[in-house]
Amino acid sequence: MVRALTLGLTPREESEYHSETIRIEIGYARGFSYPSPGHRWRGYLAAAFTRGRETEVFISALELERMSERVSGRTAIVTGAANGIGRGIATRLAEEGASVVIADIDRKAAEATAETLRADGSDAVAVGCDVTDRSDIGAVVETVRSRFESVDILVNNAGVIRGGTFLELSAEEWETVLDVNLTGMFNCSSQIAPVIRDTGGGSVVNISSIAGVDMSYAGPANYTASKWGVIGLTRHMAWDLAEHDIRVNAVCPGGTLTPLIRERTTPEDRERARRVIPLGRYGRPEDVANAVLFFVSDEASYVTGSKLVVDGGRRFAGRYEVLE
């Protein structure tokens, strides 16, 4: 098989046969594979026409199959996974073969997400979990131990935003955000990392933000402080856990269209933000999920203590909300 050059083809996720036109390198004969998140397109050469250095190929009899499963046989716990970025991460890991634990304070929504994944053929279980309550996390650990043979991956995604400008920020709002976004991450990691160690090693990914590499111009100070804290915690965890073969990295998303973002912004806000993102669009949960997948896969086996910014170049724009 030869790998197709992806020039504008957006495969429809359907299993019925249909025709598409793509381009592949000259010199190959029959067959191609087209990778897309979670799936691979296969087909056979029907006709070819040379145009300069490229060959236009008309493909018939396409079919959908699963991609190689990059985390097959592993168990992943994803916090805050009922909706938004967390749901996107859980879905992506399940697509790549992992058994997924959907841990969320909203147990009903977590179960709905798990049911969706199970309907797609994945192994998923929902557990209620308040990351600020260490006894809740202990119950999650016991549930996972009784259901799965190992825990290989932890994605600390649970987070909240509360408050306004610094002078409007209450002590209660300050504490709530730090408790969930930073202390909650410590609570989960300190109780789940020993389980990963006993498994023989694995990976932890902490979800920070571009607020953790600069500041949240549109959000409150407590959010920025918590996300900077995540970066520091990630580096120190990576240092301390390396001897146990546990890699720890951080993903820093920019503006990502989730229910939380839609709730806190107007369509006008989102359009203004989109115009200053160099890549010309808001992020999607799957963009963040793909970064997480890289960190937990064997492709990142020599990567720890790192952060990956996923923001479409947004950080280059600076304080556009203030300057406009």
Q: What is the mean pLDDT of residues 90-103?
A: 97
Q: Which residue has the higher pLDDT, 213 or 318?
A: 213
* C-alpha–C-alpha distance, residues 289 and 190, integer Å: 23
223 is catalytic: yes
The pTM assigned to this predicted structure is: 0.78
* C-alpha–C-alpha distance, residues 44 and 114, integer Å: 36
* C-alpha–C-alpha distance, residues 102 and 69, integer Å: 19
Give per-residue pLDDT as tens, 18-34. 333 333 333 333 333 33
CB count within 10 Å of CB 106 equals: 15
Give per-residue pLDDT as tens, 179-193. 999 999 999 999 999
Q: CA quadruple 73, 78, 83, 87: dihedral positive or negative? A: negative
Give per-residue pLDDT as tens, 272-297. 878 888 888 889 999 999 999 999 99
Least Cα distance to 284 among 10, 36, 85 occurs for 85
Q: Which helix (H) or strand (E) holds 314?
A: none
Give per-residue pLDDT as tens, 32-80. 333 434 443 434 334 444 444 444 444 443 333 444 589 999 999 999 9
What is the model's pLDDT at position 16?
Answer: 31
What is the model's pLDDT at position 69?
Answer: 84
Distances in whole angstroms, Cα of residue 186 to Cα of each of 89, 133, 291: 20, 11, 21
Residue 13 has pLDDT above 80, yes or no: no
* C-alpha–C-alpha distance, residues 109 and 92, integer Å: 18
* C-alpha–C-alpha distance, residues 235 and 241, integer Å: 10
Q: What is the mean pLDDT of the chain?
A: 81
Catalytic pick from 28, 44, 223, 282?
Answer: 223
Place of tokens 């390198």: 25
* C-alpha–C-alpha distance, residues 41 and 23, integer Å: 14
What is the model's pLDDT at position 214?
Answer: 87
What is the model's pLDDT at position 28?
Answer: 31
Write phi, then psi, for 24 (nearest 5 degrees).
Answer: -130, 165
Write phi, then psi, for 117 (nearest 5 degrees).
Answer: -65, -40
* C-alpha–C-alpha distance, residues 298 and 70, integer Å: 8
* C-alpha–C-alpha distance, residues 192 and 282, integer Å: 33
Write phi, then psi, for 106 (nearest 5 degrees).
Answer: -95, 90
Q: Which residues contact 153 (CB under 8 A, 6 or more apart)?
A: 71, 74, 75, 76, 77, 93, 98, 196, 202, 203, 204, 205, 296
Q: Which residue has the higher pLDDT, 302 or 271?
A: 302
Domain annotation for the chain: domains and CATH numbers = 20-66 (no CATH), 75-314 (3.40.50.720)
Residue 114 has pLDDT above 60, yes or no: yes
Residue 135 has pLDDT above 70, yes or no: yes
Q: Which two tokens stand for residue 140?
A: 């999650």
Least Cα distance to 228 among 317, 132, 307 occurs for 307
